[in-house]
Amino acid sequence: MEILQFKLTNVGRFSNIELPLAPTDEKKSKVTVLVGNNGAGKTFLLKSLATSLSWFVARVRSEKGNGSPIQEDDIKNGQNAAAIKISLKHNAYLHRWIIAKTRTGRKNEQSSQLNDATKLAEHFRSELSKDEQTSLPLIVFYPVERVVLDIPLKIRDKHSFQQLDGYDNALNQGVDFRRFFEWFREREDAENETGIPIEAVEKLYKSFINDPKALLGLQEMHALMRDRQLSAVRAAISAFMPGFSNLRVRRKPRLYMSVDKHGESLNVGQLSQGEKSLMALVGDIARRLAMMNPSLENPLHGDGIILIDEVDLHLHPKWQRTLIARLTSTFPNCQFILTTHSPLVISDSKDVLCYLLDDGEISVVDDLYGLDANSVLLQVMDTDIRNVDVDMRLRALLNTIQDGELDKAKDLLAELSKDLPENNIELIKARLLLRKQELRHAQDR
Ligand SMILES: Nc1ncnc2c1ncn2[C@@H]1O[C@H](COP(=O)(O)OP(=O)(O)OP(=O)(O)O)[C@@H](O)[C@H]1O
Ligand SMILES: [Mg+2]
Asked whether the beta carbons of 282 and 297 are under 8 A apart, the reply is: no
Helices 317-330 and 228-240: crossing angle in degrees, nearest 10, is: 140
pLDDT of residue 221: 55
Most confident of 47-56, 210-219, 242-251: 47-56
pLDDT of residue 274: 83
Averaged pLDDT, 113-135: 95
Q: In whole angstroms, what is the distance from residue 149 CA to residue 168 CA?
A: 17
pLDDT of residue 159: 65
Q: Which tops the pLDDT comparison, 292 or 170?
A: 292
Task: Using alpha carbons, list the distances in angstroms from residue 273 to 268, 270, 376.
Answer: 10, 9, 26
Averaged pLDDT, 93-117: 94
User: How do residues 390-407 score in pLDDT, each as one tens digit?
Assistant: 888 888 998 898 888 999
To test the pocket of ligand 1, the residue of 8, 9, 13 to mutate (highest count of ligand atoms within 8 Å of its CB) is 13
Q: pLDDT-based confidence at 217, cuts 50/70/90?
A: low
Q: Whose CA is nearest to atom 5 of ligand 1?
A: 13
Asked whether the beta carbons of 74 and 11 are under 8 A apart, the reply is: yes
* Cβ of 12 less than 6 Å from ligand 1: yes
Q: In whole angstroms, what is the distance from residue 223 CA to residue 258 CA?
A: 22
* Cβ of 39 less than 6 Å from ligand 1: yes
% pLDDT > 90, the chain: 48
Ligand 1 centroid vs 221 CA: distance in angstroms?
54
Averaged pLDDT, 84-109: 94
Averaged pLDDT, 354-379: 78
Q: pLDDT-based confidence at 189, cuts 50/70/90?
A: confident
What ligand 1 atom has the least distance to the C-alpha of 76? 3
CB atoms within 10 A of CB 269: 14
Q: In whole angstroms, what is the distance from residue 392 CA to residue 229 CA?
A: 57
Averaged pLDDT, 169-174: 73
3-state secondary structure of 311: coil
User: How do residues 253-279 score in pLDDT, each as one tens digit?
Assistant: 888 889 999 999 999 888 888 888 888
pLDDT of residue 394: 87
Q: In whole angstroms, what is the distance from residue 152 CA to residue 443 CA?
A: 77
Averaged pLDDT, 206-212: 65
For residue 34, what is the enclosing H or E element?
strand 31-36
- For 183, phi then psi, to 5°, come to -60, -45
Task: Using alpha carbons, list the distances in angstroms from residue 397 to 216, 340, 384, 404, 442.
Answer: 76, 35, 18, 11, 20
pLDDT at 124 over 90: yes
What ligand 1 atom has the least distance to the C-alpha of 37? 25
Most confident of 100-109, 298-307, 353-362: 298-307
In one letter, which amino acid is 105? G
Ligand 2 centroid vs 340 CA: distance in angstroms?
9
DSSP annotation string for 81-102: EEEEEEEEEETTEEEEEEEEEE
Q: Which tops the pLDDT comparison, 164 or 197?
A: 164
Q: Whose CA is nearest to atom 7 of ligand 1?
A: 12
Q: Whose CA is nearest to atom 28 of ligand 1?
A: 39
What ligand 1 atom has the least distance to the C-alpha of 78? 3
Ligand 1 centroid vs 40 CA: distance in angstroms?
6
User: Dihedral of CA 369/373/375/380: which sign?
Assistant: positive
pLDDT of residue 243: 92
Task: Using alpha carbons, list the distances in angstroms from residue 84 to 51, 70, 78, 107.
Answer: 9, 9, 18, 18
pLDDT of residue 46: 96
Asked whether the beta carbons of 334 and 301 are under 8 A apart, the reply is: no
CB atoms within 10 A of CB 140: 25
- For 87, phi then psi, to 5°, come to -125, 135
pLDDT at 246 over 70: yes
The stretches of 293-405 forming alpha helices (DSSP H) are: 317-330, 343-347, 373-379, 388-402
Averaged pLDDT, 53-80: 95
Return mean pLDDT, the chain.
86
Asked whether the beta carbons of 30 and 335 are under 8 A apart, the reply is: yes
pLDDT at 194 over 60: no
In one letter, which amino acid is 435? R
Q: In whole angstroms, what is the distance from residue 285 CA to residue 300 CA?
A: 9
Ligand 2 centroid vs 369 CA: distance in angstroms?
24
Ligand nearest to the CA of 82: 1
Domain ranges of the chain: 144-299, 388-444
* Cβ of 44 less than 6 Å from ligand 1: yes
The stretches of 93-217 forming alpha helices (DSSP H) are: 115-130, 177-194, 198-210
pLDDT of residue 180: 80
What ligand 1 atom has the least distance to the C-alpha of 47? 18
CB atoms within 10 A of CB 283: 24
DSSP annotation string for 238-297: HHHSTTEEEEEEE-SSS-EEEEEETTEEEEGGGS-HHHHHHHHHHHHHHHHHHHH-TT-S
Ion ligand 2 residue ranges (Cβ < 5 Å) = 43
* Cβ of 76 less than 6 Å from ligand 1: yes
Q: In whole angstroms, what is the distance from residue 275 CA to residue 253 CA?
A: 24
Asked whether the beta carbons of 134 and 162 are under 8 A apart, the reply is: no
Residues 6 or more apart whose CB falls under 8 angstroms from that of 57 comprise: 65, 67, 121, 139, 167, 170, 171
Task: Using alpha carbons, list the distances in angstroms from residue 52 to 8, 43, 182.
Answer: 11, 14, 29
- For 161, phi then psi, to 5°, come to -110, 120
Task: Using alpha carbons, list the distances in angstroms from residue 195 to 68, 190, 201, 224.
Answer: 42, 7, 10, 10
What pTM, to 2 d.p., does this model score? 0.82
Q: How many residues does the chain have?
A: 445
What ligand 1 atom has the least distance to the C-alpha of 74? 1
Helix then strand then coil, in percent of the chain rounded to 5, is 45, 20, 35
Most confident of 77-91, 227-241, 419-433: 77-91
